[in-house]
Amino acid sequence: MHQAADPAVRPGVTTDATLGHIAGIFGYTAFFFMAATVIWGLFLITRLPERHIRRQTLYGGHMMLAILALAASVVHAQVHYFRHDAYYTESRIWLVWGGAKADVLPGILGLEVLVLVAFSIWFQRRIGYRRWHRFHWFAYPGFVLIAIHSAWASREQHFGVIWAAMAAAMFVPLALFVLRVLSPAGRRDEADPWFDVVEAFEDGIYRR
């Protein structure tokens, strides 16, 4: 049997685009929170602010920004389900093969990668901090996919300030990434003592 195509708008409601704009606001908020999370994480690696701020404080700030970014991303995605001017199912929102448009696919895939990285922290103790940290690097391509989606699917292209802010939010992580590669902590032959501190701290907790 031939399956009927989904309607263009949700049946029985108006074509009001208010929820679409709300979703866009949460989308931009999520993007900038993600950019801040990446920047904060790269600062952790380069150790630039450690002269003034304790590393534990920086680590907690990185996690807080990541949680805010994921929360805003989930709200951004789920608001589309209730939109009046377009028809979205849960599968179209959350599944790459659910029928989403091409400009949405990078966002779905990027968010799923970031969610996996976030949930992987629960397995950090079992696999060790060093191995988990290598898996954590998948957050960077996840952020790139989110950035592609944000630029491609943006409905506010007439707002030059948004594009300028997004460009700056991409340039700063790129510059810090270069510093991270060139820093001593980023070289493979020089271990980061912070890993030993974290693993010792975790061993002390789980032995209680």
Residue type, 87: Y
The pLDDT assigned to 59 comes to: 82
Domain total of the chain: 1
Residue 24 lies in a domain: yes
Residue 116 lies in a domain: yes
Give CA–CA dist 152/27, Å, rounded.
Answer: 12
Give CA–CA dist 126/121, Å, rounded.
Answer: 10
What's the sign of the alpha-carbon dihedral 101, 96, 84, 156? negative
Residue 6 lies in a domain: no
Give CA–CA dist 22/3, Å, rounded.
Answer: 31
What DSSP character marks residue 16? -
Residue 12 lies in a domain: no
Question: What is residue 157's three-state secondary structure?
Answer: coil
What's the sign of the alpha-carbon dihedral 182, 183, 185, 190? positive
Whole-prediction pTM: 0.73
The pLDDT assigned to 190 comes to: 46
The pLDDT assigned to 189 comes to: 42
Give CA–CA dist 65/174, Å, rounded.
Answer: 18
The pLDDT assigned to 57 comes to: 81
Residue 35 lies in a domain: yes
Residue 8 lies in a domain: no
| Burial (CB count <10 Å: 0-12, 13-18, 19+), residue 27 | buried
Q: Do the Cβ atoms of 154 and 162 come closer than 8 Å? A: yes
The pLDDT assigned to 150 comes to: 85
Instruction: Print the domain residue range for 62.
Output: 18-206
Which two tokens mark 87?
Answer: 């028809």
The pLDDT assigned to 77 comes to: 92
Digitized pLDDT (tens) for each residue of the chain, 208 residues in all = 455 566 655 655 556 678 888 888 899 899 999 989 988 887 777 676 777 777 778 888 888 999 999 999 999 999 988 887 777 888 888 988 888 888 889 999 999 999 999 888 888 778 777 788 888 888 888 998 998 898 888 776 555 666 677 777 777 777 767 766 666 555 544 445 555 555 555 454 444 4
